[in-house]
């Protein structure tokens, strides 16, 4: 088992650093545990965008609902040049440089597998159902992760296509999307300045799930409506716990 250093994180999280060695680089992230974590067997992995880190919105909002209200464990790791692994100048510019490495996707999938195996084992969490939430860069890495050896039961992805900012890995994304057969929600921004509509639809079409839906909204890349995040929470809870959820917006209306 890898060596893990723990510190107190933000938003009630436990931050972790899994030391790198000759076989693999350092992995950093955060985990949120319900109050009675020993009874938790539902886990959601959260990926973030290229301009953020393990705490990027809407991850804290997801935690508020998934962890505190539904007893779901949330695990988020920093991107390859982000957060505690930041490489200057940071953000999208550093990530574009990272994308030039031929193995950058496979290295990040390995990061995820190492985090899931070691962090959950140390926290005595046994996965019965597994979900994923990740938009933009969280989908660039998320689609290959969903096609990995981990068995996912539901996912929310989007803000990404097979062309535009992801053109250099478009074929890889389309191929991996064909391995996705679980319930999937796909979010799309109609005036996205980073990803064109054809690439969005090509990636959505490649998903092989019989239970998939696409939600398209007007606006630029970061303009995802809050109600879509609320819907994403409902979708994950329903498919991972089989419980019906009343969204915050519906409660207000009532």
Of all residues in the chain, what percent carry a pLDDT higher than 90? 90
The reported pLDDT for the residue numbered 220 is 98
Q: How confident is the model at residue 23 (pLDDT cuts 50, 70, 90)?
A: confident
Q: How confident is the model at residue 252 (pLDDT cuts 50, 70, 90)?
A: very low
Provide the residue range defining the domain that includes 70: 4-253
Q: What is the DSSP letter of 199?
A: H
Residues 108 and 134 sit within 8 Å (Cβ to Cβ): no
The reported pLDDT for the residue numbered 242 is 81
Residue in the structure block whose two tokens are 């207000």:
252
The reported pLDDT for the residue numbered 227 is 97
- CATH code assigned at 187: 3.40.50.1820
The reported pLDDT for the residue numbered 195 is 98
Across residues 5-28, what is the average pLDDT?
Answer: 93
Cβ burial, residue 193 (10 Å; 0-12/13-18/19+): exposed
Rounded to the nearest 5 degrees, what angle is found at the Cα of 212, between the Cα atoms of 210 and 216? 155
What's the predicted TM-score (pTM) here? 0.94
Across residues 69-86, what is the average pLDDT?
Answer: 97
The reported pLDDT for the residue numbered 35 is 87
Instruction: State the total domains in the chain.
Output: 1
């Amino acid at each position: 088992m890898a060596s893990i250093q723990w510190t107190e994180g933000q938003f009630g999280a436990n931050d972790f650093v899994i030391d790198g060695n000759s076989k693999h680089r350092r992995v950093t992230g955060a985990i949120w545990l319900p109050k009675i974590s020993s009874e938790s067997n539902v886990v959601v992995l959260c990926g973030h965008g290229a301009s953020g880190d393990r705490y990027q919105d809407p991850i804290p909002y997801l935690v508020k609902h998934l962890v505190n209200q539904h007893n779901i464990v949330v695990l988020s790791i920093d991107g390859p040049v982000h957060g505690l692994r930041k490489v200057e100048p940071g953000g999208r510019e550093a990530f574009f440089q990272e994308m030039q490495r031929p193995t950058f996707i496979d290295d990040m999938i390995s990061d995820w597998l190492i985090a899931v195996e070691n962090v959950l084992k140390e926290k005595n969490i046994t996965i019965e159902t597994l979900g994923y939430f990740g938009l933009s860069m969280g989908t660039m890495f998320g689609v290959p992760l969903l096609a990995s050896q981990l068995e996912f039961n539901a996912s929310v992805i989007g803000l990404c296509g097979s062309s535009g900012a992801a053109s250099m890995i478009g074929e890889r994304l389309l191929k991996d999307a064909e391995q996705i057969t679980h319930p999937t929600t796909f979010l799309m921004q109609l005036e996205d300045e980073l990803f064109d509509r054809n690439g969005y639809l090509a990636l959505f079409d490649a998903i092989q799930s019989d239970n998939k839906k696409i939600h398209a909204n007007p606006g630029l890349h970061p303009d995802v409506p809050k109600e879509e995040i609320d819907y994403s929470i409902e979708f994950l809870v329903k498919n991972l716990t089989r419980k019906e959820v009343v969204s915050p917006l519906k409660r207000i209306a009532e």
